[in-house]
C-alpha cells in the first residue's frame, strides 16, 4: 500500500466511512474523521466515537466553511475520502436547499480548503459518488441501439405503467450501465452527486491533487443505520422484520432492479483507489453487475429471519425519481482497479441478518416462525 502521512475522511463516522477508517489504520500514519453526526443517521443523542477508535474525531458540518477549512489546515491531508453527503432520492425533492448546501456547497468548501492546503504538495481525493447520476441508466431499443431514457413520468407510474418504453411505446431492454453513458439524473440527490464530481475535478485542476471517482451502487452490510428511512432498502426491510412490521410493502410491481454490493467489497475498492499509482481520469462503477429485484431481496431477507417468504404485499406505490433498473457494468473496475466483488447477495444478506440480530432489540432467531 502507498503510505499516507495524513488521511481525512468526511462523513467518516457513518456506515461506509467507519469501515473505511478501520481499513486505513494500517496504511495511514494519522486519520482524521470529520462528521456532523447527523441525527437522521446517528440518532438524536449520538456520541462522538470512542477515543480508541484509531483516529481523531472532529464534529463539524461541512456546510460550515470555517469548520472544514480549520480541519483541513490542521491535518493537512495527503489523502481525502469524501463521503459527507445528504442521501435519499425521495427526501431530496422535499429538501432541495439542504441537499444543495451539503452536497454541492459543502464539496466546494472542501475543494477550496484542499487547494489552499496542498500548495506544491500532492493529495489524492476519493469521492464516493453514486450510480444515481445515470438516472434510468442504459437500455437497448428494438434496433439494438444504446439509449438512456428520460425519467419515468408520474402519470405513467400512477397508472401502473412502470416498465420503460420508447416514444412509440415499444419496450426497452435494460442492460448493465457503463460509465461512459451520458449522465441523466432523475432526482435532486442525483444532480448534487454529479455536481460533486464536477466540482472536485474542476476545482483542483492545475494542482498536484488527483481525484478518483467511485460511483457506488446500493451498498449494504453490518453497521448500516436501521432507523434511517433513507439508508437503503435492505436495512429498512431488516428493521421492519425485526420490529414485526409485516407484511413488507413492496413498491411498484416488485420488479424494481438493484445492484446490491456488500460493504467489505466497497471498502476494498476504496483501498485500491488509494493504492493505485495513477488514478484513472474517469469515474469507476462499484457494484456486482448482478440483477436482484426488490421482491427477490425481500424474500431472501424474510427467509433469513425465519419469516414466511410470503410476508409481503405488492402495493403499487411509487416514488417520483426512483429508477426502474439499476445495474452496473464493472468492466472498468476490473481493468483499471483490479477490483471485483467477492460476496454475492445470498452470503451478504446472511451476514447482514446475523448483525441485525445483535443490533436490533427484537432481532429474530433464524428458526423463529
Catalytic residue set: 189
| DSSP code of residue 322 | -
Q: Could you tell me if 342 and 275 are in contact, meaning their C-beta atoms sit under 8 angstroms apart? A: no
Angle between helices 294-304 and 345-359 (to 10 degrees): 50
**R_g over Cα of the chain:** 20
Beta-strand relationship, 79-82 and 123-130: parallel
Q: Could you tell me if 211 and 127 are in contact, meaning their C-beta atoms sit under 8 angstroms apart? A: yes
Residues forming a β-bridge with 285: 215
What DSSP line would sit under 292-312, residue for residue? EEHHHHHHHHHHHTT--TT-E
Residues forming a β-bridge with 24: none
| Length reported for the chain | 369
**Cell 486519520 sits at which residue?**
31
- CA 34 to chain CA mean position, Å: 18
Q: Is the dihedral of CA 43, 48, 49, 54 positive or negative?
A: positive
Amino acid at each position: 500500500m502507498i503510505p499516507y502521512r495524513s488521511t481525512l475522511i468526511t462523513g467518516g463516522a457513518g456506515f461506509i466511512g467507519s469501515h473505511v477508517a478501520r481499513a486505513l489504520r494500517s496504511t495511514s500514519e494519522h486519520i482524521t474523521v470529520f462528521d456532523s453526526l447527523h441525527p437522521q443517521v446517528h440518532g438524536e443523542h449520538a456520541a462522538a466515537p470512542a477515543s480508541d477508535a484509531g483516529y481523531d474525531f472532529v464534529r463539524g458540518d461541512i456546510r460550515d466553511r470555517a469548520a472544514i477549512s480549520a480541519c483541513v489546515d490542521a491535518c493537512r491531508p495527503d489523502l481525502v475520502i469524501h463521503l459527507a453527503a445528504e442521501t435519499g432520492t425521495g427526501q431530496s425533492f422535499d429538501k432541495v436547499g439542504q441537499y444543495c448546501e451539503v452536497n454541492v456547497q459543502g464539496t466546494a468548501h472542501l475543494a477550496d480548503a484542499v487547494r489552499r492546503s496542498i500548495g506544491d504538495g500532492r493529495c489524492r481525493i476519493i469521492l464516493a459518488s453514486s450510480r444515481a447520476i445515470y438516472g434510468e441508466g442504459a437500455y437497448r431499443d428494438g434496433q439494438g441501439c444504446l439509449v438512456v431514457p428520460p425519467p419515468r413520468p408520474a402519470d405513467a407510474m400512477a397508472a401502473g405503467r412502470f416498465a420503460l418504453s420508447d416514444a412509440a411505446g415499444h419496450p426497452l431492454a435494460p442492460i448493465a450501465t457503463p460509465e461512459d453513458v451520458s449522465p441523466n439524473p432523475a432526482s435532486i440527490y442525483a444532480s448534487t452527486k454529479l455536481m460533486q464530481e464536477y466540482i472536485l475535478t474542476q476545482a483542483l485542476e492545475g494542482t498536484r491533487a488527483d481525484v478518483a471517482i467511485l460511483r457506488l451502487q446500493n451498498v449494504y452490510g453490518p453497521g448500516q443505520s436501521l432507523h434511517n428511512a433513507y439508508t437503503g432498502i435492505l436495512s429498512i426491510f431488516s428493521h421492519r422484520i425485526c420490529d414485526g412490521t409485516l407484511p413488507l410493502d413492496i413498491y411498484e410491481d416488485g420488479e424494481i432492479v438493484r445492484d446490491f454490493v456488500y460493504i467489505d467489497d466497497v471498502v476494498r475498492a476504496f483501498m485500491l483507489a488509494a493504492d493505485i499509482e495513477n488514478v484513472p481520469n474517469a469515474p469507476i462503477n462499484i457494484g456486482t453487475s448482478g440483477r436482484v429485484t426488490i421482491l427477490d431481496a425481500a424474500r431472501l431477507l424474510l427467509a433469513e429471519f425465519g419469516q414466511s417468504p410470503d410476508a409481503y404485499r405488492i402495493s403499487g406505490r411509487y416514488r417520483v425519481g426512483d429508477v426502474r433498473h439499476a445495474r452496473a457494468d464493472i468492466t472498468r473496475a476490473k481493468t483499471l482497479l483490479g477490483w471485483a466483488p467477492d460476496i454475492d447477495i445470498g452470503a451478504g444478506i446472511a451476514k447482514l441478518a446475523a448483525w441485525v440480530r445483535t443490533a436490533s432489540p427484537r432481532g429474530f432467531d433464524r428458526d423463529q416462525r
